[in-house]
Structure 1
Amino acid sequence: MQEPTINALVSPEGSLEILSNHEVNRLKDRSEGGLYRLFRQCALAVLNTGVETDDCKTLMESHADFDVRLVPQPRGLKLELINAPAHAFVDGEMLRGIREHLFSVLRDIIYSHSIPQSAAGFRRDDPEDLTNLVFHVLRNARVLEAGRQPDLVVCWGGHSISQDEYQYSKEVGHQLGLRALSIITGCGPGAMKGPMKGATIAHAKQRVKNGRYIGITEPGIIGAEAPNPIVNELVIMPDIEKRLEAFIRCGHGVIVFPGGVGTAEEILYLLGILLHPDNADLPFPVVFTGKKENAEYFEMIDKFIRNALGDDAAKKYEIIIDDPARVAQTMKKGMKEVETFRRAMQDAYYFNWMLKIDPVFQLPFHPNHENMRALELHRDQPVHLIAANLRKAFSGIVAGNVKEDGIRQVQAKGPFEISGDPTLIQPLEAMLEQFVAQNRMKLPGSDTYLPSYRIVSGAA
C-alpha cells in the first residue's frame, strides 16, 4: 500500500533562515559535485523520524517521487516539499521537532561544505584542520556551550535490540537524568533512543529545564537511522570519522550498550584513541553495560578486545551488569574527574582539545572491494593501528549493511572480502557470527540477514 504524502511549503525553525546565491545554487545543483542529492537524502530521512528502517537504499527507492526545493522569499527562505511522508505532519502542519531537524540538515550541509572552500589553506589530510572542522560544525550548530560543567554522556549501542535491552537502556538514561546528566547518541532508535527517553522523565522529576538530547549522525547513516523524536539538537557531520571525533571531543564519558558491527566500530575507534600514549593520563570514563542476559555478550566483546589489543585496552573500560544506578554513579564520578582535570589543565569543558587523535582515525575510509581487501589485519604493527584497521573492517560491513552506496556495491560485485592474520580474523569471524545469530545486524522482523562480507583465510 502506497504511503500517504503531502505537498507543503515549510518555513525555517531556528537554525538557518538565509542563504547566499552561491549556496542556493549548490543546493539546486543535481550534478555529481552539487549538494542536491545529499540534501534530498538527509531531508527524507528526517521526514521519516520515528520510522524504524535500517536500509537507506530501500528508503530512497520507496520515496522516489519525493522532492525538496528552495523557495527564496523577501524575508528569507522556505522549503517546498513534494510528496513528503504524511506522518511528518499533523492537520497539515509539519511537526515542530521534524521542522527543526529539517533545517538543521540544511544548516550543517551548507556549513560543512563551505569551510573547506572558504578557509585559507585548509587541508583535508591535516589533523589540526580536521579537528577544527569538527569544532566549527559543532559550534555553528550551537552544541558547544561555554561555562557549562561536564555533563554530556555519549551512549552507544545497537539500533536492533530486544525490548528488554531497550528497557534497560531507558533505565540507565533515567538514572543519568536523575543526576542531571544529559545524553548524546547517534540519534536513531534502539539503544540510541532508550537513554534519551529515560532521561526526559528524570529531568522532568528533577525540574531540569536545560536537559540536552543531542543526536550526531552523518549523511551515509541517517537514512538507516532516522532521528528519534526525542533529539532536540541534531548535528550532521560530513562523514563517519568526523562523527566519531565529534562524539568524544564534546562528550565527557561513554556508555556502551549491546550492539552489532556499528557498536564494535565505535568501541575500536574509542579504544584506539585512548591507547595513544599522549592520552594515558586523560580521564575519560567508559562503561560497558547491559542486563544479566547480556553478560555473555560483554564477555565476548572483552575477550575480542583483549585478544586484538591486549589487556591494557581492557583497563580503559569497566563492565557493569544489570545495575543502572551504579552505571550512572560511575559516570557522575567520572564527570567530576573530567572537570577537575580540565580545570587544572585549563582545557575547555565543552571541547576536548587535549585529546590526541592519530590521523589514521581522522582520514575518511571509503569502503569498497579494493580497500576492504587491502586492510592490514595483522599483528606486526602498533596496537592503535590494529584498532584502526579493525575499525575500518567494521565500517565497511556497516556500509554494506545499511548505507546506500555500500549496498549497491555489494549487490553489484558480491560481499566485501576480509582477510588477514588468523589470530585476528578467526575471532572477528566468530564475533560476527554471534551478531548475526543474535539478530544484531538487522531490525527485528526484517528479512533474513544476507552478509555484506566474506571472510577469506589469511596467511598464518
Structure 2
Amino acid sequence: MSDVRPEPLEDDVPIEGTQVRYAGAAKVRVDEDSEYVTSDENLLEWVDPRDSTKILERTVRDSWRVLRIQSEFVAGFDALENVSEAVTVFGSARSVPGSAEYEMGVEVGRRLVEAGYAVITGGGPGAMEATNKGAFLAGGESIGLNIELPFEQHLNPYLTLGMHFRYFFVRKTMFVKYAQAFVCLPGGVGTLDELFEALTLVQTGKVKRFPIVLVGRAFWGPLLDWMRQVLLADAKISPQDLDLITVVDTPEEAVDVVIASGVR
C-alpha cells in the first residue's frame, strides 16, 4: 500500500491544472480546463421532445432531481429555523476591500446587529463579505447563503452560519423567508435580479410589505429616474409601486428606515 496521501480539498493547497469547486455541499477537485455544468443549468437544459431516448432519460433524471431539490429546501429550513429577526443585504461581489463601497457594507452590517437584527447575505466576496464582516465583528448573527456557479464563489470568513446551494430558486426562498427587510448596496446584474424579485413579491402581495432600502442615491438615482420617466409615464407601473422603495445615502439612514418600519 502506498504511503502517499492525496492532497486535501483545500483551496490554499493547489495542484497544478486543477481547481476546487462545490457541488451542493460537497467540495470536489476538477480539471481546470474541464467544462463545468451547474445544477441549475442541468435542470433548465432544453431537450428536443422529438428525441425519445433523451426525453425518457431526462424524465427519469428530473424525477430524481426533485428529491435533491426537496432535500435542499429541508436543509435550508432546518439550518435557519432559529433565525428570528433578520435583514437580507444584497450587493456586488466585486466591491473591493478598503473601498468606500466596501466600508459602507461593513457599516450596514454593524448597525443592523446593533439594532438587534441578524444579517443574511449571499455569503461571497465584495459587499457580501463586507456586510458579514460588520455583523461578525459586532458580535451578531452573520449568515451567508452561497450558490454553485461556473466561476467559483467561496464563502467569506465572516460567517456564523454558511450554506452552499445548488439551485438559485431555493437560495432565493431563504433570502425572503427569513428576512424582515431588504437592503441593497450598489451591485450588478445579480443585485438587480434580487432587488426586482423582492419588489415583485411585495407589489403582488406574495409577501408582507416590508422595507426595501437602496443605499447610495448617486448609484440608484438613475434607476429610479428611469422607472418614473419610462415605466410610470407609460403606465407600466402605478405611482404607489415606487413608494415600495426607499433610497438613502448612508448606512445609518438605511437602518433607521428598517427600525422605523416596525418590522420584527
Q: Same fold (TM over 0.5)?
A: yes
* C-alpha distance in 2 between matches for 1:9 and 1:320: 43
Correspondence 1:214 to 2:214: no
The one-letter code matched in structure 1 to 2:92 is G
Which of the residues 90, 93, 96 maps onto 1:156?
Answer: 90
Instruction: Provide Cα deviations, 1:358-409, integer angstroms capped at 9, x if missing partner.
Output: xxxxxxxxxxxxxxxxxxxxxxxxxxxxxxxxxxxxxxxxxxxxxxxxxxxx
* Counterpart for residue 167 of structure 1: 103
Shift of 1:317: 1.5
Partners of 1:185 and 1:192 within 8 A in 2? yes
Correspondence 1:139 to 2:77: yes
Shift of 1:249: 1.0
* Counterpart for residue 377 of structure 1: none
Aligned residues: 214
Which of the residues 38, 43, 48 maps onto 2:27?
Answer: 43
Which of the residues 193, 198, 203 maps onto 1:270?
Answer: 198
SS at match of 1:199: helix
Q: Which runs of 5+ in 2 are unaligned?
A: 1-5, 11-20, 35-62
SS at match of 2:258: helix
The one-letter code matched in structure 2 to 1:153 is V
* Counterpart for residue 220 of structure 2: 298
Q: Which runs of 5+ in 1 are unaligned?
A: 1-5, 11-36, 46-59, 65-112, 119-129, 204-210, 340-460
Which of the residues 173, 195, 199 maps onto 2:135?
Answer: 199
Correspondence 1:180 to 2:116: yes
* C-alpha distance in 2 between matches for 1:274 and 1:297: 23
Give me the TM-score of the superposition, normalised by structure 1.
0.41
Residue correspondence of structure 1 range 89-100 to structure 2 within 5 A: none
- Mark the CA change 1:114 to 1:253 in structure 2 (over 3 Å): closer, same or farther: farther
Which of the residues 253, 257, 260 maps onto 1:330?
Answer: 257
Residue correspondence of structure 1 range 390-429 to structure 2 within 5 A: none
Partners of 1:305 and 1:313 within 8 A in 2? no
* C-alpha distance in 2 between matches for 1:173 and 1:38: 26
* Counterpart for residue 116 of structure 1: 66
Shift of 1:239: 1.4
Give me the TM-score of the superposition, normalised by structure 2.
0.69
* Counterpart for residue 229 of structure 1: 157
Correspondence 1:240 to 2:164: no
The one-letter code matched in structure 2 to 1:303 is D
The one-letter code matched in structure 2 to 1:229 is P
- Mark the CA change 1:278 to 1:38 in structure 2 (over 3 Å): closer, same or farther: closer
The one-letter code matched in structure 2 to 1:181 is Y
Residue identity over aligned pairs, in percent, reads: 21
* C-alpha distance in 2 between matches for 1:237 and 1:9: 19
The one-letter code matched in structure 1 to 2:209 is P
Partners of 1:134 and 1:246 within 8 A in 2? no
What CA RMSD, in Å, does the superposition of the two structures yield over aligned residues? 3.3
Residue correspondence of structure 1 range 278-427 to structure 2 within 5 A: 279=207, 282-290=208-216, 295-306=217-228, 307-308=230-231, 310=237, 311-321=239-249, 323-334=250-261, 336-337=262-263, 339=264
Instruction: Provide Cα deviations, 1:89-130, integer angstroms capped at 9, x if missing partner.
Output: xxxxxxxxxxxxxxxxxxxxxxxx978349xxxxxxxxxxx8
* Counterpart for residue 37 of structure 2: none
Shift of 1:257: 0.3
* C-alpha distance in 1 between matches for 2:177 and 2:169: 12
Partners of 2:105 and 2:131 within 8 A in 1? yes
SS at match of 1:7: coil
Shift of 1:262: 1.0
Shift of 1:271: 1.3
Shift of 1:229: 0.8
Instruction: Provide Cα deviations, 1:126-177, integer angstroms capped at 9, x if missing partner.
Output: xxxx8x766523123x2111xx642x11010101125110011111212112
The one-letter code matched in structure 2 to 1:216 is L
Instruction: Provide Cα deviations, 1:212-248, integer angstroms capped at 9, x if missing partner.
Output: 2111122236x43211011232223331122212200
Shift of 1:315: 1.4
- Mark the CA change 1:175 to 1:41 in structure 2 (over 3 Å): closer, same or farther: closer
Residue correspondence of structure 1 range 27-38 to structure 2 within 5 A: none
Partners of 2:24 and 2:148 within 8 A in 1? no
